[in-house]
Structure 1
């Protein structure tokens, strides 16, 4: 049988081990990723959804039992912090003016909260007759299941079915998973984000652009997805792949975000109304100065609480994880850019430092591509021990953050 033998250095004129084409070709080779073929397998996806719902039920039960022990009713714990603002918009709509404090700084206003989640809560309330709080829970739980299916579909072609299932399990029992069970926006945003990434990796350009636009009506952090979608579309155009279809993703991606800004501003007759409302919450991009100030404060505390550890761990772990994703050729570049953009936004935006770990929850399935294969190889009993203990901890931690700690988680 004939064998193919690589040409020798004498016949090619290149030293052994060198790549053809010079430095540019070597750079392309270093940046090349393994091909990813996205497929949707209903049976496997149902297992992922069942795992997510099981862990959510366990954690939510712990959360409710502990809050009852602390003397709080169910409706009270479902209407805390951000949930109260979403429920207020769902019940009463947005205000038509922006309050100001005596020093001229805007006061707290629900104008800072994007419209899709309260719109969904209002629709479910109208159809089912549930209270706004319980309608918000239903929205979050349905969205959490959709998010789990999207996370599994995204992870499966990269790390395989079993590890993709682990990604979903670890995400569903992570410490801040409690916001997936109450009327917060993380569940809805994760659902849209995961499926937008699936469409982007599968090169379904119009679908990716539409889902990215939808994400822009959920949270301002959709700006990371907008940037990744636009960048990926422009790269495909430059590489002359798929004709002009990538242009559709690039054009559609920012429409929801810009539309939300304009709509919320129009409520008070100002194009910049949303940005004014955000000033009250201290949310602005300051290149990390606010985060650095918080880290210095945390380092100087003599008796820091566990939230300091959560913030510090999140910042460090996401930075290391992003570098590791970049070095793993199985991971498509859009996912690496997403993790990098999320870290940059998390660190670069001041205000609400205790919410930084929660901010990363929708992006967590991408980072979990790294540890998931290792956990997938251990015995099933060990995996369920990890899942169960994680869900119990998430319920316990959520009870403390919602009922005992200040400020908002």
Structure 2
């Protein structure tokens, strides 16, 4: 049984170059498959964690139902509590579709609206709804919970491509009880998005470019952020190309493309990357075509910014610095620079443990957040796609670290439910 009781293993050697497609090497690149026992244990852990989270949500709701500081806006009762915040937009999309005309506030600025949210999750909920008796909330929770279970299993298998069995198992468990894991069972698209992102990453490590393309495109219509996949693929291809050329100059025999089809494999990689990139940029085009407003999507997204920095208007790679300046002037900008430097340094220092694919993915996703996302309380939820980093063997090197990680995750989950679901939107 490949769980924490299994003998520890070190990190696996980094897979060969992206283009490697010979039969022997291709077979070796097939991602490790966890045993049935481990899969069932993880599903049990996931189910138990969702029950614990349901208890947390119910208790917090009962204790704060009449609190003046509780701002959840989903309606009365526990069902309304679970339907708060972005869930209302997903329900609107599922039942009414998207508005043809962008709503505006009293000053003529684009107001918050459904175009900020992608269509895949509400479309699946609409399909499932008749099966569960027609209740939208139940259908949305079913889709979210099942997708979260799939995300847990795929994440575990993704971790196995780089980390040992112990680290991968406890990394998946940590994902189930992480502070923001309550989002996996509310009407949000996160669990579906994570399932698709982790699946696309797994396909990339296995050089399954068709699967990478399909899952990457689906992720692009589930939630913003899939462009990190294209960035990871491009960076991985470039780094290994440079390494290969250096090795050739140094006279070192290096694994490279199958000599019979090197160009074809490069074409597959580039085609996959370009298709996923195009899908990642497609939604703003769709919004522009339907609404007739060229910057409709960006105006919609930045309409949320006015609550934090007093203005909107999207310029890539400026949101974090604008937020820092709005909060603390030039000191805030300096703080942002220092924070980003610490993050980059941490990723570089962990490069050997993470391996190239996970490192480039983490870099690509962080770059995406810096480029387009305004930091605020939703930042914690937006960090969930970085869950593969939970497989770092240092987090599960001893029993004490495992216990501390799990207990801390559960304790902080209660804090997150109070602050980021009850008092403010997550």
Counterparts in 2 of 1:37-52, with a 5 A limit?
38-43=31-36, 44-52=38-46
Q: Structure 2: how far apart are the matches of 1:297 and 1:270?
A: 28
Confirm whether residue 402 of structure 1 aligns to residue 421 of structure 2: yes
Counterparts in 2 of 1:64-143, with a 5 A limit?
64-71=58-65, 73-143=77-147
Q: Structure 2: how far apart are the matches of 1:185 and 1:216?
A: 12
The answer for unaligned runs of 5 or more in structure 2 is: 1-12, 17-28, 66-75, 243-255, 306-311, 330-335
| Equivalent residue, structure 2, for 1:213 | 217
Contact residue 266 and residue 273 of structure 1 kept, 8 A:
no
The equivalent position to 2:53 in structure 1, one of 55, 59, 62, is: 59
Shift of 1:388: 4.5
Alpha-carbon deviations, 1:270-310, whole Å to 9, x = none? 5543233223233876455442343466569xxxxxxxxxx
The answer for unaligned runs of 5 or more in structure 1 is: 1-31, 301-310
Shift of 1:90: 1.1
Q: Structure 2: how far apart are the matches of 1:53 and 1:312?
A: 40
| Equivalent residue, structure 2, for 1:332 | 355
The equivalent position to 1:249 in structure 2, one of 272, 282, 304, is: 272
| Equivalent residue, structure 2, for 1:367 | 389
Contact residue 55 and residue 388 of structure 1 kept, 8 A:
no
Q: Structure 1: how far apart are the matches of 2:83 and 2:94?
A: 12
Q: Structure 2: how far apart are the matches of 1:324 and 1:388?
A: 27
Confirm whether residue 157 of structure 1 aligns to residue 150 of structure 2: no
Residues 108 and 50 (structure 1 numbering): CA distance in 2 closer, same or farther, change over 3 Å?
same
| Equivalent residue, structure 2, for 1:378 | 398
Residues 121 and 342 (structure 1 numbering): CA distance in 2 closer, same or farther, change over 3 Å?
same
Confirm whether residue 292 of structure 1 aligns to residue 311 of structure 2: no
Alpha-carbon deviations, 1:368-407, whole Å to 9, x = none? 233xx2343423x8735642552243134213322223xx
Contact residue 230 and residue 274 of structure 2 kept, 8 A:
no
Shift of 1:217: 0.4
The equivalent position to 1:322 in structure 2, one of 334, 347, 350, is: 347
Contact residue 144 and residue 186 of structure 2 kept, 8 A:
yes
Shift of 1:201: 0.3
Shift of 1:269: 3.6
Shift of 1:121: 1.4
Shift of 1:73: 2.0
Contact residue 38 and residue 154 of structure 1 kept, 8 A:
yes
Q: Structure 2: how far apart are the matches of 1:369 and 1:150?
A: 13
Q: Structure 1: how far apart are the matches of 2:282 and 2:321?
A: 32
Question: Which deviates more from structure 2 when the two are superposed, residues 251-260 or residues 334-343?
Answer: 251-260
| Equivalent residue, structure 1, for 2:8 | none
Residues 319 and 350 (structure 1 numbering): CA distance in 2 closer, same or farther, change over 3 Å?
same
Contact residue 52 and residue 168 of structure 1 kept, 8 A:
no
Counterparts in 2 of 1:254-293, with a 5 A limit?
254-270=277-293, 272-282=295-305, 286=315, 288-293=317-322
| Equivalent residue, structure 2, for 1:307 | none
Under a length normalisation based on structure 1, what TM-score does the superposition of the two structures give? 0.78
Q: Secondary structure at the match of 1:331?
A: helix
Residues 204 and 79 (structure 1 numbering): CA distance in 2 closer, same or farther, change over 3 Å?
same
Q: CA RMSD in A?
A: 3.1
Alpha-carbon deviations, 1:120-142, whole Å to 9, x = none? 11111132224212211111111
Aligned residues: 360
Residues 272 and 165 (structure 1 numbering): CA distance in 2 closer, same or farther, change over 3 Å?
same
Residues 388 and 125 (structure 1 numbering): CA distance in 2 closer, same or farther, change over 3 Å?
farther
Under a length normalisation based on structure 2, what TM-score does the superposition of the two structures give? 0.75
